[in-house]
Amino acid sequence: MADTVTERYRKERPGSWARWERACRVIPGGITHDGRYLTPFPLYVRRAAGPRKWDVDGQEYVDYWMGHGALFLGHAHPSLVEAVQAQVGRGTHYGACHDLEVEWAEWITRLVPSAELVRFTMSGTEATHLALRLARAATGRPKIVKFTGHFHGWHDGVSAGVNPPYEIPMSAGIPGAVLGEVLLSPPNDMAALERLVGSRQDIAAVILEPAGGSAGTIPTEPGFLKDLRQLTRDRGLVLIFDEVISGFRYAPGGAQEYYGVTPDLTTLAKIVAGGLPGAAVCGRREIVGLMAFGEDTGWNRAQRVAQNGTYNANPLSAAAGIAMLSELANGKLHDAANARGAELRAGLNDVFRKAGVACVAYGDVSIFHVSLEGSPGAKAKDPDLYHKWRCALILQGVDMSAYHGWVSAVHGEREIEETIDAVARAVRDLQAEGAL
């Protein structure tokens, strides 16, 4: 009998296998991000350029991880390489304010409709943590409304209701008291949200991924954002758009520009820092301004919203962020990336239809999602199948998250055609062993 996809993966990626075994001795499970979990072992990459990357066994891939969505200009884009190289020799941390952080913040306020003031953090997780702190300080209320299936990073305050079954938090080790401050509501359901909010006076904010939960896996229905904006305004709740994924991708001004709905606070990461570590919270002056020191020492000590962070707005990330935002500001790159995204979604659905499998590709702009079960809008049910799917794709020269992929502005027609052919072969391999 022919080897299964998993058996072939073991045989044909020996370099990754050996490295993973070594890693397991010093790193739990051998991986440094839960999203990299792959059975039988993850892929080890040595080099990347443009839309492609090469693994430690010398195999080439069209890449749709794209830095978890951060690399809108592909890997090692010349303008980013130049900006970072120029800065690294001038110093990577001044322990002082510097011009680049001001310029970076100015770019954000220019592009993002809700951004009057900007404060930098190092990751999207820190950004949502700070946004919730700001909302609580601004309202004097403790509770947060979060939608089931929406992901806002890994800190305790947003770990409820991420993956089904939603009663079980995303991780062990989270205090019940923290989970108790989060009120869960189903996405796209205004009636349920109105019932939940009712006449409660203890809710500070509603946070969501505006384009849909889990990077758009559960898309937001048209009209929901406008109704949500109305409800939060009427009830004095802070509306937080977590635009870590959608920021600068849906449009230069993010999903808020794309949908024409302006939140009170926005969290940004990924594209904002051009592929280096960096993130931000921005929004209304009277809320983000709660971080500013004033003349009243009592207020400074007790009422101000505090935040530190050794690497906040470090010059390297700022240089990369400025280079990225200035490249994408006019929206032209979005046309290219979105066109490739649409071609890819259509091509994948064509492959699935011809193969007679239930799988569906869907999504917006330059993001695509795949439901192998044929249930767009729902989170995946059979993790084992998705591991096989990733191994099958890797064997055919495509690397993406099991559930979605990000198309960059430098993916061309050639990459899209290659990907569609590769997926057709991967589907055939999985059908041959009865997995699809």
Q: Which of 80, 215, 323, 402 binds ligand PMP (CB under 6 A)?
A: 215
Strand ranges across the sheet with 182-185: 117-121, 279-283, 265-268, 238-242, 203-208, 143-147, 182-185
Measured distance CA(22)–CA(221) in Å, rounded: 46
CB nearer to ligand PMP: give 258 or 352. 258
Q: Which is nearer to ligand PMP, 108 or 430 (CB)?
A: 108
Minimal distance, residue 218 CB to ligand PMP, in Å = 12
Cβ proximity to ligand PMP, 124 vs 341, nearer residue: 124
Looking at residue 305, what DSSP letter applies?
Answer: P
Window of 6-14, 56-64, 118-126, 409-417 that interacts with ligand PMP by CB under 6 A: 118-126
Q: Residue 205 interacts with ligand PMP (CB under 6 A)?
A: no
Cβ proximity to ligand PMP, 36 vs 332, nearer residue: 36
Contacting residue, 124, 263, 315, 347, with ligand PMP by CB under 6 A: 124
Kindly tell me which residue out of 119, 152, 284, 387 binds ligand PMP, with binding defined by CB under 6 A.
152
The Cα 210–Cα 213 span in angstroms is 8
Stretch that binds ligand PMP, among 237-245, 252-260, 286-294, 335-343 (CB under 6 A): 237-245
52-55 vs 45-49, strand pairing mode: antiparallel
**DSSP tag of 376:** T
147-170: burial string, b at 16+ Cβ within 10 Å, e else: bbbbbbbbbbbbbbbbeeeeeebb
Under rule CB under 6 A, residue 131 binds ligand PMP: no
- C-alpha dihedral, 107 to 113 to 115 to 120, nearest 10°: -60
- Look at the chain and count its residues: 436
**What whole-number distance in Å separates Cα of residue 257 and Cα of residue 241?**
12
- Which of 279/422 has CB closer to ligand PMP? 279
Strand partners, 213: 218
Write down the least CB distance from residue 351 to ligand PMP, Å: 27
- Which of 55, 242, 264, 364: binder of ligand PMP (CB under 6 A)? 242
Using the rule CB under 6 A, give the single segment among 7-15, 82-90, 119-127, 191-199 that binds ligand PMP.
119-127
Q: Name the residues that contact ligand PMP, by CB under 6 A.
A: 68, 123-125, 128, 151-153, 209, 215, 242, 244-245, 269, 279
